[in-house]
């Protein structure tokens, strides 16, 4: 990611990233993730007997298990960049035997994964862009409530090629401010960026708690006691930058559509406006090219009942598109 990429992102937008599921802490220490909008996904993807399905964001396997339970005859390939999530998804989907395969891969690598698995076309694809709640306990610096190294990569290697500590300790002040504002809508981005640079001149910033302290000292007292934790937006922005989330979404969804069979469908669940606009733009381009149609004209949102039982679902939006012909 470059300064040129980040500067346009300073345009005002809403950016309230949700985690995409409810968190449950078990006695074993495992954090369980509740998938969002499962009913709507099943209805809108309309998985049929014999379909080849790609769950591009397996998480802990919730959506995959629901699709396999609803239509046991399908062949399902699930991807996730997080090795812990892959292990949990495999454990959950083991009951379905050879019908379900879970692969450790970022959906940025869909082309490679499909080729390796000798799949020319796929019939249904799901992207749940909410990050896996279990990652809060991964020890990689996603949570500002625990003292952890500032990594923030979803997988063993980050999609961007760098980790959060490298951003904080090496990027210049202007670019840091652009990251915090563009990807987190942090109103005090410049003050925080200046404080980060001043602190790293004394010693490198290594842990989450160190970053939280820097942010706390940089923002006004009233901001520290708001409804939202004062570090939320900064941590969100760093996570998006580390994982190149916008670039990965565009490349992944495009690759999935390119391999989609005629009458096949792609469903995408987004959790903040930047990603939703990117998906909307991609879908609009395919509709304009007359290679696809929108299954739902406006994005679907969770029911009130789901939001009450799973508050993390509140910012979710589901868009679905159907391929009507191959590009001429």
Judge whether 46 lies within some domain.
yes
Q: Enter the pTM of the model.
A: 0.81
Closest to 294 (Cα-Cα) out of 255, 316, 321, 263 = 321
Looking at the fold, whether 29 and 130 belong to one and the same domain comes out as yes
For 168, the domain range is 161-242
Judge whether 4 lies within some domain.
no
Looking at the fold, whether 127 and 54 belong to one and the same domain comes out as yes
Number of structural domains, the chain? 2
Element (H, E) at 214: helix 208-218
pLDDT at 24: 34
Cβ pair 55, 89 in contact under 8 A: no
Looking at the fold, whether 70 and 129 belong to one and the same domain comes out as yes
Least confident of 18-22, 141-145, 262-266: 18-22
Looking at the fold, whether 113 and 174 belong to one and the same domain comes out as no
Cβ pair 86, 80 in contact under 8 A: yes
pLDDT at 3: 37
Judge whether 17 lies within some domain.
no
CATH number (domain holding residue 181):
1.10.150.170
Least confident of 51-55, 181-185, 319-323: 181-185
Judge whether 39 lies within some domain.
yes
Judge whether 90 lies within some domain.
yes
Judge whether 155 lies within some domain.
no
CA distances from 256 to 114, 119, 248, 265 (A): 10, 12, 12, 10
Higher pLDDT, residue 44 or 273: 44
Cβ pair 62, 32 in contact under 8 A: no
Confidence of residue 130 (pLDDT cuts 50, 70, 90): confident
Higher pLDDT, residue 223 or 155: 223
The two structure tokens encoding residue 221: 């007292």
Looking at the fold, whether 309 and 187 belong to one and the same domain comes out as no
Judge whether 143 lies within some domain.
no
Looking at the fold, whether 126 and 259 belong to one and the same domain comes out as yes
118 φ/ψ angles, rounded to the nearest 5 degrees = 55, 45
Q: Using DSSP, state whether 1 is helix, strand or coil.
A: coil
């Amino acid at each position: 990611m470059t300064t040129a990429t980040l500067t346009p992102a300073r345009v005002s937008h809403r950016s309230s990233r949700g985690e995409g599921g409810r968190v449950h802490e078990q006695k074993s220490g495992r954090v369980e993730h509740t998938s969002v909008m499962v009913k709507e996904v099943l209805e809108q993807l309309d998985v049929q007997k014999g379909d080849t399905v790609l769950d591009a964001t397996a998480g802990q396997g919730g959506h995959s298990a629901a699709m396999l339970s609803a239509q046991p005859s399908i062949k399902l390939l699930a991807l996730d960049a997080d090795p812990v999530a892959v292990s949990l998804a495999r454990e959950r989907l083991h009951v379905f035997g050879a019908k379900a395969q879970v692969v450790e891969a970022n959906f940025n690598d869909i082309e490679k994964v499909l080729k390796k698995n000798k799949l020319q076309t796929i019939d249904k694809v799901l992207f749940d862009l909410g990050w896996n709640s279990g990652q809060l306990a991964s020890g990689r610096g996603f949570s500002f409530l625990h003292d952890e190294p500032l990594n923030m990569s979803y997988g063993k290697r980050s999609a961007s090629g760098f980790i959060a500590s490298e951003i904080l300790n090496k990027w210049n002040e202007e670019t840091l401010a652009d990251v915090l504002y563009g990807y987190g809508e942090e109103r005090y981005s410049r003050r925080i960026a200046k404080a980060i640079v001043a602190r790293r001149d004394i010693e490198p910033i290594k842990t989450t708690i160190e970053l939280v302290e820097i942010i706390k000292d940089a923002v006004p007292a009233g901001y520290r006691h708001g409804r939202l934790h004062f570090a939320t937006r900064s941590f969100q922005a760093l996570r998006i930058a580390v994982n190149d989330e916008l670039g990965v979404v565009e490349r992944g969804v495009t690759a999935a559509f390119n391999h989609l069979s005629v009458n096949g469908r792609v469903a995408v669940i987004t959790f903040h406006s930047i990603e939703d606009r990117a998906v909307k733009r991609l879908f609009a381009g395919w509709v304009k090219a007359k290679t696809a149609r929108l299954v739902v004209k406006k994005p679907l949102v969770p029911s009130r009942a789901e939001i009450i039982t799973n508050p993390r679902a509140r910012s979710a939006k589901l868009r679905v598109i159907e391929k009507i012909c191959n590009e001429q």
